[in-house]
């Protein structure tokens, strides 16, 4: 409640006795002049007035879909209660009022300490209102807004009390149906009460609401509520899951600009893993939340008893400190006594702090000088056996992958680090080009099946060696232990603080079999070539590694990556490759559910093949949780967000990928690609040209530059880029289709039709993207055939369909009912 100053009109909290603005004494509730009884108020009662000749208004507590709620003094009973005015449009129907009476009778049977009591439904001068128990304290939503994320212990304490209140209500057949953090009160002792029981149940009966009115609170609605289906106690359990999520993360799972958009998300999108917002959430509690939030009510907890059992299990696993429910600090109305002793102690403390600061500066330097970034260059290889090139690449890549799991260390990705392969670069220059403070360089010498590995960790700013080591006469079977030693030494020499989990993951061995590890390294070596031949050869080696060690999670992740890109580059049809990619990624995660590479692979497949945007988002976020320095995860996640039109978020992610992999031609190209989809063609063209300066022979950059030029009406320049892309790619069908589309929109219909016929003939022998043929048809003004091909692309699970909602080339179709239906089918509308 706030009190308005009678002098300056400043609004003051009711805890103040004097105005915070002008300092005069504020009137107390007793000082407020009581006005006459109000006649038929329209949801507006003023402080100090008396309503219905009985209820003196103390303050407004809040408002919702039914009306406003006030804290009042019942002058007849001499106690404070809560009073809710029902909106006239809701109360005008006699049947509605009858239902209220019936539900209220049922709700009044609930006598449990965690449930606020309901009293009566009454009427005064045509205004209907409900009286209920007033619970002094703070509602849960206000508490979360005030302090942010709640502690694990406090959240579980509140959750258990809510659960116990729900259990009693459900036993009596009462379903809340509007459970939300606003409806949960917490008193000064930490006791919880659920408010407004029985009301929302009545509101969902037929005939109460007008057309287009959404009943309930969208942020807390279960999917079945959003679909206006019958609801039961499992709907309350879903809402409970939202509240638990909100307590632990400070936010609800789904937000939107309109109630309808939020309701749609409740039906169609998977919630983001709460541990992405709060890493302190125990895994057991995370599972409880996600189990509550299952879309299918048959997959949720079926009753509050099951839910309470799991909450108790989680609570037992907490430390004593985590279980404590923090009590509010009591403000003492006393002045602190400052004496000479206090002053002396304070002076000594300040002096010590200054001294410690100087000692820290002298010994450790300024905080900005700390080394928090590193590039691991490909190891030089000295050998008479050219067939073990994979080994030098593999060791470097394995170290990059291991250290990318450390959240406080920026590790440059393989693509950028390997730009220096076969060279003897200046370390300081490498540091400047890659934007890192340290560089690890290594050398492998192979003689008669024996290896000598030498490494140096260098401060790139000063070209000064921080640490160096040589591992002589090591055999291949010792490689994994050497990698562990190097990873540990780097973290120690750079003074990186590692959590226990990070230490375990750095020391983790994914296979104990040397032959399996060797096959895996060969698989990655060929996969990184990004050619059809290379990826198929990589598949052979990944399968070989799995045959040797069926529990080798990284090898399964390699399989998933190979199948993903074979489909993405149209070397295989999606139907042939993508189910295998999904199966391999899921198998990897069955073996190791912390493998960021596998989550990234699975997210890719969820997006490009299953068109499951929510699931893809969750998998990408899991990948970034476990491997925050994995550039590919940031890169692919950025493209995914761009496809959903979430450009601000996508640019943020692609910038992180750029930082981790500054010399990656594909990442730099895709920065421009996002500008293209955002219709910022000039910026896109400028960025594409910068990418070509890095590598003028990268066909994808020329393809996409051509598309941006085409949108600007620069037909000749676009056609030139498409022709170069075809030459560089070895006549990729996607690039041939792009050339045909360019000829079509530039007016050269004959050449466009010639290319179209070539592609249609070629599609009889190999996979040709129906999406790109559709775009070519559109350029030829064959609208219906274009739509036929887009629908066929959907049947084929064509990967370019992920851009259906943002591709500028399809703008002409956006008002067409068939196109809208396809967008809706893909959940892109």
pLDDT tens across 171-185, in order? 888 888 889 998 899
CB neighbours of residue 111 within 10 Å: 9
178 counts as catalytic: yes
Lowest mean pLDDT across 395-404, 425-434, 576-585, 606-615: 395-404
Residue 35 φ/ψ, nearest 5 degrees: -90, 175
Burial 446-461 (b: 16+ CB within 10 A, else e): beeeebebbbbbbbbe
| Residue 438 DSSP label | E
Q: What is the pLDDT of residues 736-786, one digit of tens each?
A: 999 999 999 999 999 999 999 999 998 888 888 899 999 999 999 999 999
pLDDT at 36 over 70: no
| Three-state SS at 24 | coil
| Residue 613 DSSP label | H
Average pLDDT estimate for 701-718: 94
What DSSP element (H or E) covers 359? helix 340-364
Residue 703 and residue 159: Cα distance in Å, rounded?
A: 55
pLDDT of residue 32: 37
Residue 671 and residue 687: Cα distance in Å, rounded?
A: 7
Q: What is the pLDDT of residues 442-458, one digit of tens each?
A: 777 776 666 777 778 88
What's the count of helices (H) and strands (E) in the chain, helices before strands?
34, 17
- Asked if 293 and 286 count as a contact pair (C-beta separation under 8 A), the reply is no
pLDDT of residue 466: 79
Query: What residues does CATH 3.40.50.10070 cover in the chain?
Result: 369-509
Give percent above pLDDT 70 in the chain: 78
What DSSP element (H or E) covers 83? strand 79-85
Residue 213 and residue 638: Cα distance in Å, rounded?
A: 36
At 205, the pLDDT band (50, 70, 90 cuts) reads very low
pLDDT at 335 over 70: no
Q: What is the pLDDT of residues 58-109, one digit of tens each?
A: 998 877 667 788 999 998 888 899 998 888 877 776 777 777 777 777 777 7
What DSSP element (H or E) covers 473? strand 464-474
CA angle, residues 820, 683, 640, in degrees to nearest 5 = 45
Query: Helix H segments across 172-317?
Result: 199-203, 223-226, 233-249, 259-268, 283-292, 304-316
pLDDT at 295 over 60: yes
pLDDT higher at 441 or 401: 441
Question: Averaging pLDDT over each range in 37-46, 472-481, 554-563, which range is the top one?
Answer: 554-563
Q: Dig out the tokens for 77 from the structure.
A: 């009973």
Residue 263's contacts (CB-CB under 8 Å, 6 or more residues apart) are 214, 218, 221, 226
pLDDT at 717 over 70: yes
| Residue 696 DSSP label | T
pLDDT of residue 6: 57
pLDDT at 353 over 50: no
pLDDT of residue 280: 86
pLDDT at 479 over 80: no
pLDDT at 551 over 90: yes
Q: What is the pLDDT of residues 636-688, one digit of tens each?
A: 999 999 888 888 888 899 999 888 888 888 889 999 999 999 899 999 999 99
Residue 319 φ/ψ, nearest 5 degrees: -75, 165
pLDDT of residue 235: 93
Query: What residues does CATH 3.30.200.20 cover in the chain?
Result: 32-94+103-133
Lowest mean pLDDT across 41-55, 408-422, 803-817: 408-422
pLDDT at 420 over 70: yes
Q: Dig out the tokens for 776 from the structure.
A: 């070519």
Lowest mean pLDDT across 139-153, 486-500, 815-829: 486-500
Determine whether domain 138-323 maps to CATH 2.60.40.10.
no
pLDDT of residue 5: 62
Q: What angle do helix axes 733-746 and 715-729 make, rounded to 10 degrees?
A: 160
Residue 752 φ/ψ, nearest 5 degrees: -65, -45
Average pLDDT estimate for 330-348: 39
- What's the farthest any 2 CA atoms get from each other in the chain? 104
Quote the mean pLDDT of the chain: 79
At 323, the pLDDT band (50, 70, 90 cuts) reads very low
pLDDT of residue 468: 75
The full length of the chain comes to 829
pLDDT of residue 739: 94
At 390, the pLDDT band (50, 70, 90 cuts) reads low
- Asked if 233 and 201 count as a contact pair (C-beta separation under 8 A), the reply is no
pLDDT at 293 over 90: yes
Residue 708 and residue 748: Cα distance in Å, rounded?
A: 19
Q: What is the pLDDT of residues 770-784, one digit of tens each?
A: 999 999 999 999 999
- Give Cα separations from 413 to 513, 634, 720 (angstroms): 26, 11, 33
Residue 699 and residue 729: Cα distance in Å, rounded?
A: 6
Catalytic residue among 139, 178, 612, 807: 178
pLDDT of residue 385: 67
| Residue 387 DSSP label | G
pLDDT of residue 259: 77
Q: Which DSSP string do the residues of 451-470 spell out, in sequence order?
A: EEEEEEEEETTTTEEEEEEE
pLDDT at 125 over 90: no
- Asked if 734 and 703 count as a contact pair (C-beta separation under 8 A), the reply is yes
| Residue 84 DSSP label | E
Give percent above pLDDT 90 in the chain: 32
For residue 296, which of 222, 402, 206 has the smallest C-alpha distance? 222
> What CATH architecture does domain 369-509 belong to?
3-Layer(aba) Sandwich (3.40)
Determine whether domain 32-94+103-133 maps to CATH 1.10.10.10.
no
Average pLDDT estimate for 363-391: 65
Q: Is 112 exposed, middle or buried (0-12, 13-18, 19+ CB in 10 A)?
A: middle
Residue 254 and residue 342: Cα distance in Å, rounded?
A: 51
At 828, the pLDDT band (50, 70, 90 cuts) reads confident
pLDDT at 330 over 50: no
pLDDT of residue 494: 67
Query: What residues does CATH 1.10.510.10 cover in the chain?
Result: 138-323
pLDDT of residue 211: 36
For residue 738, which of 772, 761, 785 has the smallest C-alpha distance? 772
At 365, the pLDDT band (50, 70, 90 cuts) reads very low
pLDDT of residue 15: 52
At 618, the pLDDT band (50, 70, 90 cuts) reads very high
Q: Dig out the tokens for 61 from the structure.
A: 């507590």
């Amino acid at each position: 409640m706030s009190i308005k100053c009678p002098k300056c009109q400043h609004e003051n909290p009711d805890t103040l006795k004097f105005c915070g603005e002008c300092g005069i004494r504020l009137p107390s509730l007793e000082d407020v002049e009581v006005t006459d009884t109000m006649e038929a108020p329209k949801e507006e009662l003023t402080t100090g007035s008396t309503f219905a000749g009985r209820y003196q208004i103390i303050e407004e507590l809040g408002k919702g879909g039914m009306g406003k709620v006030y804290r009042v003094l019942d002058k007849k009973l001499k106690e404070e209660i809560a009073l809710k005015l029902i909106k006239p449009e809701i109360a005008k129907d006699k049947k509605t009022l009858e239902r209220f009476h019936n539900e209220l009778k049922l709700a009044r049977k609930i006598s449990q300490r965690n449930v606020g009591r309901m009293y009566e439904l009454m009427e005064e001068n045509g205004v209907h209102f409900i009286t209920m128990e007033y619970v002094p304290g703070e509602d849960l939503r206000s508490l979360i807004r005030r302090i942010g994320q709640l502690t694990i212990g406090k959240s579980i304490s509140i959750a258990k009390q809510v659960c116990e209140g729900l259990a009693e209500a459900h036993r009596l057949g009462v379903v809340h149906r509007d459970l939300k953090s606003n409806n949960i009160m917490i008193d000064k002792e930490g006791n919880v009460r659920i408010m407004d029981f029985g009301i929302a149940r009545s509101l969902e009966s037929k005939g109460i609401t007008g057309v287009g009115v959404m009943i309930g609170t969208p942020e807390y609605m279960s999917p079945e509520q959003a679909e206006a289906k019958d609801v039961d106690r499992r709907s309350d359990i879903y809402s409970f899951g939202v509240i638990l999520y909100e307590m632990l993360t400070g936010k609800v799972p789904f937000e939107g600009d309109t109630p309808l958009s939020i309701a749609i998300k409740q039906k169609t999108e998977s919630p983001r893993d709460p541990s992405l917002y709060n890493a302190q959430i125990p895994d057991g509690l995370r599972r409880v939340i996600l189990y509550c939030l299952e879309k299918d009510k048959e997959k949720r907890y079926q009753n509050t008893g099951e839910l309470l059992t799991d909450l108790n299990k989680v609570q037992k696993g907490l430390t004593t400190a985590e279980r404590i429910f923090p009590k509010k600090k009591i403000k003492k109305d006393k002045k602190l006594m400052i004496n000479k002793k206090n002053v002396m102690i304070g002076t000594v403390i300040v002096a010590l702090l200054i001294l410690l600061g100087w000692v820290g500066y002298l010994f450790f330097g300024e905080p900005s000088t700390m080394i928090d970034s590193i590039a691991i260059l490909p190891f030089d290889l000295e050998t008479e056996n050219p067939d073990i090139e994979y080994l030098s690449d593999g060791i470097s890549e394995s170290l990059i992958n291991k250290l990318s799991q450390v959240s406080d260390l920026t590790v440059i990705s393989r693509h950028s680090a390997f730009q220096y392969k076969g060279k003897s670069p200046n370390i300081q220059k490498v540091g400047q080009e890659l934007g890192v403070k340290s560089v690890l360089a290594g050398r492998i010498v192979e003689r008669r099946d024996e290896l000598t590995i030498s490494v140096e960790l260098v401060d790139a700013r000063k070209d000064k060696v921080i640490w160096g080591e040589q591992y002589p006469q090591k055999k291949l079977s010792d490689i994994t232990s050497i990698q562990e030693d190097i990873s540990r030494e780097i973290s120690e020499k750079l003074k990186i603080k590692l959590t226990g989990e990070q230490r375990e993951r750095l020391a983790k061995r994914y296979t104990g079999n040397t032959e399996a590890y060797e096959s895996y390294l060969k698989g990655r070596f060929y996969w990184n070539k990004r050619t059809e031949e290379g990826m198929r050869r990589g598949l052979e080696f990944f399968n070989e590694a799995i045959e040797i060690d069926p529990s080798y999670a990284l090898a399964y992740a390699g399989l998933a990556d190979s199948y993903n890109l074979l489909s993405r580059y149209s070397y295989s049809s999606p139907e042939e490759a993508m189910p295998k990619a999904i199966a391999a990624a899921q198998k990897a995660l069955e073996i190791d559910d912390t493998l960021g590479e596998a989550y990234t692979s699975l997210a890719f497949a969820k997006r490009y093949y299953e068109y499951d945007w929510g699931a893809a988002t969750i998998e990408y976020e899991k990948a970034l949780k476990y491997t925050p320095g994995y550039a590919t995860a940031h890169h692919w996640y950025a493209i995914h967000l761009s496809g959903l039109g979430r450009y601000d978020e996508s640019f943020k992610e692609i910038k992180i990928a750029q930082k981790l992999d500054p010399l990656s031609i594909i990442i730099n190209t895709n920065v421009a690609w996002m500008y293209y989809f955002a219709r910022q063609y000039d910026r896109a063209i400028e960025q594409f040209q910068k990418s070509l300066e890095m590598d003028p022979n990268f066909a994808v950059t020329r393809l996409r530059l051509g598309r941006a030029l085409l949108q600007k009406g620069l037909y000749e320049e676009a056609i030139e880029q498409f022709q170069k892309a075809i030459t560089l790619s070895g006549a990729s069908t996607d690039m041939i289709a792009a050339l045909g589309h360019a000829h079509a929109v530039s007016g050269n219909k004959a050449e466009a039709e010639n290319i179209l016929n070539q592609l249609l003939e070629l599609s009889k022998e190999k996979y040709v993207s129906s999406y790109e043929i559709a775009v070519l048809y559109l350029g030829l003004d064959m609208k219906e055939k274009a739509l036929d091909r887009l629908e066929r692309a959907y049947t084929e699970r064509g990967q370019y369909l992920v851009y259906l909602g943002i591709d500028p080339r399809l703008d002409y179709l956006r008002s067409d009912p068939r196109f809208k239906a396809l967008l809706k089918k893909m959940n892109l509308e």
